[in-house]
Amino acid sequence: MKLTSLLLILISLLIACDEAQPHLEQIRERGELRVLSRYGPTTYFVKGNELAGFEYDLAQLFAQYLNVKLKIIVPDNLGDLLTLIEQGKADMAAAGLAITPARQAKLEFGPVYQEVTQQLVYRNGNRIPQNITDLANGQLEVVADSSHVEQLNIYKEDIPELLWNENKELDSSGLLELVELEMIDYTIADSNEIAANLTLFPELRVAFDLSEPQSLAWAMPLSEDGSLSAEMITFFDQIVESGALDRLIEKYYGHIRRFDYIDTRTFYRRIQTRLPQYEQLFKGAAEQFGFDWRLLAAISYQESHWDPEAVSSTGVKGLMMLTLSTAEEMNIDNREDPAQSIYAGAGYLAAMAARLPERINEPDKTWIALAAYTLGLGHVEDARMLTENNNKNPDLWPDVKETLPLLAKKKWYSQVRYGYARGSQPVRYIENVRRYYDILLQGNTDGVETLPSQNINNAIPQQTPAAL
């Protein structure tokens, strides 16, 4: 009797295994892709009133490709995230995870989409460590369960006196802030995280690299049956071929590669000393013309450093540095009046955006309109035509951005209607505006709260558009 019962149980288990759905079909049937991530400027964060982040946007694209909704889950710390994905509590983790030998023993990784280098960070003005042995003279703190701990353990084999603290509460951004505030001497962060945080913590400096370039990839449980990982490979092949991955990298990193320490420090001071005088004017103009007021403030800072009496050698004036013809077009009579200047500048930018094709999506439309704001719509339309002639997308800012500098070369400007233009100027202009805009957003200046920490039972489901 006992033997018969055991055989029945065994047969039932075998039938259940045969009938088990592939992982990918489970996701499609439930209509939801469950993704573990973490808060940070390179992964998942709140930008204004919207969710953003490189990993978030990339996961959104994948969910669209699968034609399902995206559900983001943010555990309390990195260790919990790794444990949850190892246990199969989510479909995958999109969290800027480096592929390491220790992790490969526990997790399955998808295609590589980015490379980073581990770097040692210290604060400007303090003693610069020359090599790993110098760290014995200061307090080093790193994120617990991170790839940085694995790297330090390798060094410790040859340097037994090497010591560090492992923080289970803070992420890389939190530890970078502690270095900025001189609460710790050093931390280790990936190169992309450092680049993304420099505008927020301008006193940070990189002493040296601690690792060779490391690959980032999405992680899945080792128990994954291969159906999701196979679809992931096809997805990445597609976005690499289409250029979507490059455009996403440009979106989050294209404007932060050039870091101006002096300018950033001055900007922070003027946020306190000059911006409050004009904040309500920016908000009023933003409400009237449908912009984020911090974008208008960023444009104004790029134009005049918030000086209402600013005048250029070419005769443009005021907070928004308007030409006489633009002032006449916008029906204002005093370019140095802050209210007139801000409202005219916002109105002119809105007019540029309205003259672009409706099919152009945001944020591309704003950046292309801003290029027209500073260079002229005719030259921008020339650049868009050249972009299309070069088999790129004239409705995407990253593609137009690559083409604009060609307007200064006879081979190219001789082909277009409006001729020569210093096309690299609006590219630099917009990179600066985006950097100032990011700082204003990070400053949380309108009282928008960042999302609270979530656990596995407190995730935020997100609707996604139709399939890619």
Residue 1 lies in a domain: no
Mind telling me the catalytic residues? 303
- DSSP three-state, residue 344: helix
Question: What order do you get walking across the sheet with 187-190 strand by strand?
Answer: 187-190, 118-123, 204-209
Same domain, 200 and 269: no
Q: Which amino acid is at 131?
A: N
Residue 4 lies in a domain: no
H helix or E strand, kind and range, residue 121: strand 118-123
Does the pLDDT at position 105 exceed 90?
Answer: yes
Residue 3 lies in a domain: no
Residue 186 lies in a domain: yes
Same domain, 26 and 49: yes
Per-residue burial over 269-291, b if 16 or more Cβ lie within 10 Å, else e, is eebeebbeebbebbbbbbeebeb
> Mean pLDDT across the stretch 414-433?
89
pLDDT of amino acid 457: 30
- Contact criterion met (CB below 8 Å) for 133 and 104: no
Residue 83 lies in a domain: yes
How many structural domains compose the chain? 3
- Contact criterion met (CB below 8 Å) for 123 and 183: no
Which residues does 335 contact at the CB level (< 8 Å), separation at least 6?
A: 317, 318, 322, 324, 327, 341, 344
Same domain, 138 and 66: no
Residue 49 lies in a domain: yes
H helix or E strand, kind and range, residue 223: none
pLDDT of amino acid 241: 87
* Rounded distance between C-alpha atoms, residue 37 and residue 81, angstroms: 7
CATH of residue 95's domain is 3.40.190.10
Same domain, 102 and 149: no
Query: Is residue 248 very low, low, confident or very high in pLDDT (cuts 50, 70, 90)?
Result: confident
> pLDDT for 23-66, tens place per residue?
999 999 999 999 999 988 889 887 766 788 899 999 999 999 99
- Contact criterion met (CB below 8 Å) for 72 and 462: yes
Same domain, 130 and 186: yes
pLDDT of amino acid 197: 84
- Segment among 18-32, 69-83, 404-418, 438-452 with least mean pLDDT: 438-452
Residue 6 lies in a domain: no
pLDDT of amino acid 459: 31
Same domain, 144 and 276: no
**CA nearest 315: which of 303, 304, 302, 324?**
324
Same domain, 85 and 122: no
CATH of residue 277's domain is 1.10.530.10
What's phi and psi for 356, nearest 5 deg? -85, 155
> pLDDT for 365-402, tens place per residue?
999 999 999 999 999 999 999 999 999 999 999 999 99
Between 253 and 356, residue with greater pLDDT = 356
* Rounded distance between C-alpha atoms, residue 341 and residue 12, angstroms: 76
**Domain with 328 in it:** 261-442
Same domain, 292 and 375: yes
pLDDT above 70 covers a percentage of the chain that reads: 88
> pLDDT for 321-376, tens place per residue?
998 889 999 999 999 999 999 999 999 999 999 999 999 999 899 999 999 999 99
Residue 386 lies in a domain: yes
Same domain, 199 and 326: no
Same domain, 274 and 292: yes
pLDDT of amino acid 266: 81
* Rounded distance between C-alpha atoms, residue 302 and residue 309, angstroms: 14
> pLDDT for 130-150, tens place per residue?
888 888 788 999 999 999 999
Same domain, 296 and 378: yes
Same domain, 157 and 280: no
